[in-house]
Amino acid sequence: MLGEWRLFLVAVQFLTRLPTPRLDDLPPAWLARSGKYFPLVGGLVGGLAALALLGAHAIWRSGPLPALLAVAVGLVLTGALHEDGLADTADGFGGGRSPEQRLAIMKDPRLGTYGALTLGLAVAGKVAALSVMPAQLAAAGLVCAHVGGRTAAVWTMSLLPYVADPAASKVDASRRALHPWELALTLAFALAPPLLIMPCAIGIVCLAAGALAAVLLGRASARRIGGHTGDVLGAVEQAYELVFLLLLSAFSAAGPLA
């Protein structure tokens, strides 16, 4: 049990800026094995962002500010890890003409036009979606979207080959794939919030739409660069979040959710 707790802390340390006990000199396999807890870390980040949204909503009863603050909390907690991957992926896929060029562009720390536009639209889309929903539904949606987004990233990591420079990766490329039971566990983590904290049918439909967006982006990555990189995982996570929240806001706009 202590070992599993340490794996969870490894996942928190890897995905967020939250303080954790020092975990030095861990075997290389630990980071890969911690992947099964990435959805729980997503739930932690989403939960804190949801609390920020509810707290801000108690002060500003309407308008986009509570949604903006909630998204900002998520950015601060993660150090914009996934958003950085989204921007780099957009630059690489938009500007490169060959797999080698795309990977080189994605590795470049400078932000290009494709990345800036994609990142700006994604953040604006999430803020807009959250701001038109009732506060309680928006808070539940944040938790579900963050959990599901990390689950989508873990599945992408396990099902597509790693194609970037192995020496530059924090996770050993040969250890990236999780065991089937670990993947099943991440799926259970992703299903639990939509089933428990929001209208069940709506939650499952939004989950399916987010998963479809992640699959399509994964397929595009396989065609364009032959697999995945860390940046692609961030882009997959963001695509899931955005589609989940946009569809949830559409259901909310259509009428009260039972």
User: Which token pair is 60?
Assistant: 């500003």
Q: What is the pLDDT of residues 17-45, one digit of tens each?
A: 999 887 766 776 788 889 999 999 999 99
Residue 81 has pLDDT above 80, yes or no: yes
Could you give the CA distance from residue 138 to residue 198 in angstroms, rounded to a whole number? Answer: 10
Phi/psi of residue 162, nearest 5 degrees: -85, 130
Which residues make beta-bridge pairs with 162? 228
Could you give the CA distance from residue 37 to residue 41 in angstroms, rounded to a whole number? Answer: 7
pLDDT at residue number 173: 55
pLDDT at residue number 3: 77
Average pLDDT over the chain reads 92
SS3 162: strand
Residue 114 has pLDDT above 90, yes or no: yes
Q: What is the pLDDT of residues 193-213, one digit of tens each?
A: 999 988 889 999 999 999 999
**Alpha-carbon 199 to chain mean position:** 22
Closest by Cα among 42, 48, 43, 3 to 26? 3
Q: Report the half-sphere exposure of 188 (CA within 13 A, side-chain side).
A: 8
Residue 8 has pLDDT above 90, yes or no: yes
pLDDT higher at 255 or 49: 49
